[in-house]
Amino acid sequence: MNTLLLLLLLPLAAGFTAPASSRPTVPLRAEAEPAAADAAAYRSAQDISSLTAGLPPVFTSEDISRILPHRYPFALVDKVLSYSPGLKAVGVKSVTLNEPQFTGHFPDRPIMPGVLQVEALAQLAGIVCLQMPGAEPGAVFFFAGADGVKWKRPVVPGDTLVMEVEIKAWKAKFGIAKAEGRAYVDGELACEVGGMTFALAK
């Protein structure tokens, strides 16, 4: 009986093939080439960090705290890299996941709210305005209007928002300023504001 059972099972065993997951795989030469290409494209931390060499901050975060009244979690300009007094400035906001807005916007897909991008541009404009005749550092500018606002791409944790504002008008007698601004991520336009109006608090 055992012999008969063995004779019946032999043809089945001969045709048996191990599942693909249990078979050892031997990488082909063609599969190894992308790995070599990846290694060649790899850039070290020092190499990437050196991309911003020669761009020392004009205003550090400590300097900005002496100019603007904003504080955590609403201080949205980390440093200023370029500055033309009374005219324009370039500032940076590093976007990180541990910022409080990302707990709800959105839990499964964190995106920097568009209104905060506009606020960051407004704060950068404030850095310029609060150093103009008729305004004192630490004074408060109220946001009085925004026109021509457009968002071109999401801004997410890990992005560096590079912003530029230009003051278009400053009426010291009335404490009114007008500006325009743009913000970029990796050289790509993320947000633009055609017109921002500010009123100096009396």
Residue 186's identity, in one-letter code, is: D
Q: What is the pLDDT of residue 4?
A: 44
Q: What is the pLDDT of residue 40?
A: 79
Beta-strand relationship, 188-200 and 88-94: unpaired
CA–CA gap between residue 112 and residue 103 (Å, rounded): 11
CA 189 to the chain's CA centroid: 12
CA–CA gap between residue 18 and residue 181 (Å, rounded): 64
Burial 188-200 (b: 16+ CB within 10 A, else e): eebbbbeebbbeb
Distances (CA, A) of 62 to 18, 40, 53: 66, 40, 21
* Helix, strand, coil shares, percent, the chain, to 5: 30, 30, 40
CA–CA gap between residue 13 and residue 180 (Å, rounded): 77
Q: Is the peptide bond before 106 cis (omega within 30 degrees of 0)?
A: yes
Quick: pLDDT tens for 141-183.
999 999 999 999 999 999 999 999 999 999 999 999 999 999 9
Quick: pLDDT tens for 59-112.
999 999 999 999 999 999 999 999 999 999 999 999 999 999 999 999 999 999
pLDDT of 12 above 60:
no
- Please indicate whether residue 105 is annotated as part of the active site: yes
pLDDT of 30 above 90:
no
| The two structure tokens encoding residue 19 | 């599942």
Q: Which domains does the chain have, with CATH numbers?
A: 56-200 (3.10.129.10)
Those residues whose C-beta lies under 8 Å from the C-beta of residue 149, and which sit 6 or more positions away, are 114, 118, 191, 192, 193, 194
Quick: pLDDT tens for 107-141.
999 999 999 999 999 999 999 999 999 998 889 99
CA–CA gap between residue 94 and residue 162 (Å, rounded): 9
R_g of the chain, CA atoms, integer Å: 29
For residue 61, the tally of other CB atoms under 10 A from its CB is 12
CA–CA gap between residue 193 and residue 11 (Å, rounded): 77
CA–CA gap between residue 164 and residue 138 (Å, rounded): 21
- Exactly one of 70, 105, 152, 168 is catalytic; name it: 105
pLDDT of 6 above 50:
no
Mean pLDDT taken over the chain: 88
Name beta bridge partners: 90.
Answer: 82, 164
